[in-house]
Amino acid sequence: MLVRSYLCGRWSDAGGERLPLLNPATEEVVAEVSGGGVDPGSCLDYARNHGGPALRAMSFAERGRLIAAVAARIYEHRDELIEIAIRNGGNTRSDAKFDIDGATATLSAYAKFGESLGSERVLADGDLIQLGRSTRFSGAHIRVPLTGAAVHINAFNFPAWGFAEKAAVALLAGMPVVTKAATSSSLLAFRIIEILAEAHTLPDGVLSFIAGGVGDLLDHLSSQDVVAFTGSSETARRIRGHGNVINRSIRLNVEADSLNAAVLAPDATEGSETFELFLREVARDITQKAGQKCTAIRRILVPSGMLDRVKLELSERLRGIRVGDPAAADVRMGPLATAAQQRDVREGIELLKSEAELVCGDAGRGDVALTGVAEGRGFFQIPVLLCAPDPERASAIHSHEVFGPVVTVMPYGGDPFQAAGLVCRGDGGLVSSVYTDDKDFAVRYVLAIAPFHGRINIGGEKVAEQSPGPGTVMPQLVHGGPGRAGGGEELGGLRGLAFYTQRTAIQGYGPLIEKLVRAGTQ
Ligand code: NAP
């Protein structure tokens, strides 16, 4: 297969250098990427001039129906897409479903939000405000879609969900999308775009796809365009510092690294349902997608008296995970996505080992027999549990994200504020979890860490049956976090539309202001 760009309403393959896409379990080439022939300026113009007007002419309900159609197409091709995620992403079947069904669920949620807004085209932001002696002089705030293109740059780990969670929000807001998948795992995103294009699911210019690098795209952005980026802090810094992005005040949303922490409260003692939930969710989070999840738990804090028990229980669970080629039915954890990713993870483990001792696993494959893997092949890393006995003195544990199946457990004295102080040394996170049924502990802990986090997951016996855990990003809730996590915010139901719309204050004759607020429905 050849992964090509879809620009200006047609497939683009201008030849030039082709990059191989690998199966990370076997290192076999599964496709090639044609990164040539991209003219970002024309692509952005096409989206602005064709896709934008088509979307803005629609009501929210009509855009919602388009989004529902995108979800339906992905669902129709679910089995084929799962196979691609296994081959090009190193995903187990369960990992692949997490990505692809996550995409469908998020699109479906936004389709419903659109339906609920009905025939409107303008979002009212609050009520009419009396500004003068009477309502004759009034004001209001409205939200209208920007007239540029929404550029989406995605990380390698969620080619389907990453595309869908950004596209769903932009499309509902009324902005056309130019999406760029991370090159190494782009086969899945490419196939989704191909499916949508073949079925003419979206109006011309509403969706474009860039294969390979973005070239000089950032130079062509105008002040009505936006960029939503997911990936490493390093790339985020480069985009943030780009001259055109600075000079034209281009709106930029960044979803970056995060040292997500899970805290076990003293009341969640051995044998309790909450303790079991904690172990289950931590073990799943470390190994799902081989730990290559922005929301994965990297640090665990447990009361000192529980440390040995937790080390024992977790290491038993991690040793029991069958690692190997995800195409094999009984494999529960596949390889890392690329050789570079494997190198980074190994180096990261060595760094953490300077502050923490190994409890189980080590950098590399260890002496674990990998299922269905040829000798020396694949980018594998077995699950690793480390223990840092003195978390107050640790530094790298709180600041270096190892983007793989690696977690560090640490003791604390059982005080919620002490736990909060340690967790906040992550300097801004996407999600943090606390496992407790003690309401006082929960309230103190949650309010202390809230300024440093985009989302907080409270696990306990009352929700053990229903909660999907911290790793599942819910479209109804915001995703993002301050500081190290990038300072961005996505999703959150209709809150997500803020990024793609301009909030405009209007003031004047009250009845006219009211008419303007309702303009979209007429
Ligand atoms: P990355 O290397 O920063 O790449 C992310 C994306 O940026 C890719 O599509 C990449 O394209 C593109 N890119 C690279 N250089 C660029 C440039 N100069 N201008 C514009 N785009 C550029 O990150 P990654 O390795 O794919 O992802 C892993 C990181 O993402 C981890 O640190 C993880 O924490 C973070 N992440 C965060 C979230 C979140 O929601 N907060 C979610 C997932 C991952 P190429 O692939 O073509 O280089």
Please state, as a whole number, how many other Cβ atoms lie within 10 Å of the Cβ of residue 42.
12
Alpha-carbon gap, residue 427 to 12, rounded angstroms: 42
Residue nearest to atom 16 of ligand 1 (CA): 235
Q: Is 424 a catalytic residue?
A: no
Please give the average per-residue pLDDT across 170-178, as a whole number. Answer: 98
Q: Per-residue pLDDT tens for 103-127? A: 999 999 999 999 999 988 899 999 9
Residue nearest to atom 34 of ligand 1 (CA): 257
Of 3.10.20.90, 3.40.50.720, 3.40.605.10, 3.40.50.150, the CATH number of 2-256+488-521 is 3.40.605.10
> pTM value?
0.95
What's the pLDDT tens digit per position in 23-52?
999 999 999 998 766 788 999 999 999 999
CA distance 75 to 86: 17
Q: Which amino acid is at 247?
A: N
Between β-strands 261-264 and 251-255, what pairing exists: parallel, antiparallel or unpaired?
Answer: unpaired
Ligand 1 atom closest to the Cα of residue 153 is 9
Contact between residue 244 and residue 218 where contact means Cβ atoms under 8 Å apart: yes
Atom 32 of ligand 1, nearest CA residue: 232
Condensed to tens digits (0 to 9), the pLDDT of residues 362-402 reads: 887 777 889 999 988 999 999 999 999 999 999 999 999 99
* Number of C-beta neighbours around residue 433 at 10 A: 27
Active site residue 255: yes
Residue 234 has a pLDDT of 94
Q: Is 403 in the pocket of ligand 1 (CB under 6 A)?
A: yes
d(CA 182, ligand 1 centre) in Å = 7
Q: Which of 255, 355, 401, 489 is catalytic?
A: 255
Q: Is 244 in the pocket of ligand 1 (CB under 6 A)?
A: no
> In the prediction, which pLDDT does 522 show?
46
Nearest to 167 by CA among 181, 152, 149: 152
Q: What is the distance in A from the centroid of ligand 1 to the CA of 142?
A: 33
Indicate the pairing of strand 478-479 with strand 490-491. antiparallel
Rounded CA gap, 120 and 172, in Å? 12
156 lines ligand 1 (CB under 6 A): yes
Q: Considering only CA atoms, which of 24, 82, 56 is closest in space to residue 173? A: 56
Residue-wise pLDDT for 191-250, tens only, equals 999 999 999 999 999 999 999 989 899 999 999 999 999 999 999 999 999 999 999 999
Q: Where are the domains of the chain?
A: 2-256+488-521, 261-476
Distance 107 CA to ligand 1 centre (A): 22
C-alpha 344/C-alpha 438 separation (Å) is 39
Query: Please, are residues 419 and 312 in contact by the beta-carbon 8 Å criterion?
Result: no
Second-level CATH architecture of 261-476: 3-Layer(aba) Sandwich (3.40)
SS3 per-residue string spanning 348-410: HHHHHHCCCEEEECCCCCCCCCCECCCCCCCCCCCCEEEECCCCCCCCHHHHCCCCCCEEEEE
**Residue-level pLDDT at 288:** 96
Q: How much is the pLDDT for 14? A: 65
Return the percent helix, strand and coil in the chain, to nearest 5.
40, 20, 35
Predicted local distance difference test score (pLDDT) of residue 37: 67
In sequence order, what DSSP letters do the residues of 240-297 get, joined into one string? HT-HHHHHTT-EEEEE-----EEEE-TTS-TTSHHHHHHHHHHHHHHHGGGG--TT--
| Cα angle 360, 363, 368; round to 5 | 60
Which of 49, 22, 31, 16 has the alpha carbon at shortest distance from 208?
A: 49
Asked if residues 485 and 426 have their Cβ atoms less than 8 Å apart, the reply is no
Distance in Å, CA 257 to ligand 1 centroid? 10
The confidence score (pLDDT) of residue 510 equals 96
The residues facing 406 across adjacent strands are 384
Q: Is 516 exposed, middle or buried (0-12, 13-18, 19+ CB in 10 A)?
A: middle
Check pocket membership of 462 for ligand 1, CB cut-off 6 A: no
Give the single-character DSSP code of 199. Answer: T
**What confidence tens digit (pLDDT) does each residue in 244-276 have?**
999 999 999 999 999 999 999 999 999 999 999
12 Cβ below 6 A of ligand 1: no
Which tops the pLDDT comparison, 38 or 452? 452
Among the listed residues 294, 360, 387, 424, the single catalytic one is: 294
159 C-alpha to ligand 1 centroid (Å) = 11
Exposed, middle or buried by CB within 10 Å (0-12, 13-18, 19+), for 87? buried
The neighbouring-strand residues paired with 443 are none
**Rounded CA Rg of the chain:** 24
Q: Is 430 helix (H, G, I), strand (E, B) or coil?
A: strand
- CA 390/CA 205 separation, integer angstroms: 55
Ligand 1 pocket mutation pick from 235, 242, 293, 295 by most atoms within 8 angstroms of CB: 235
Contact between 296 and 433 under an 8 Å Cβ cutoff? The reply is: no
Task: Give the pLDDT of residue 489.
Answer: 97
Check pocket membership of 172 for ligand 1, CB cut-off 6 A.
no
Residue 235 alpha carbon, nearest atom of ligand 1: 3
Q: Is 155 in the pocket of ligand 1 (CB under 6 A)?
A: yes
Integer Cα distance of 406 and 393 in angstroms: 20
- Please report how many Cα atoms fall inside a 13 Å half-sphere around the Cα of residue 402, on the Cβ side: 30
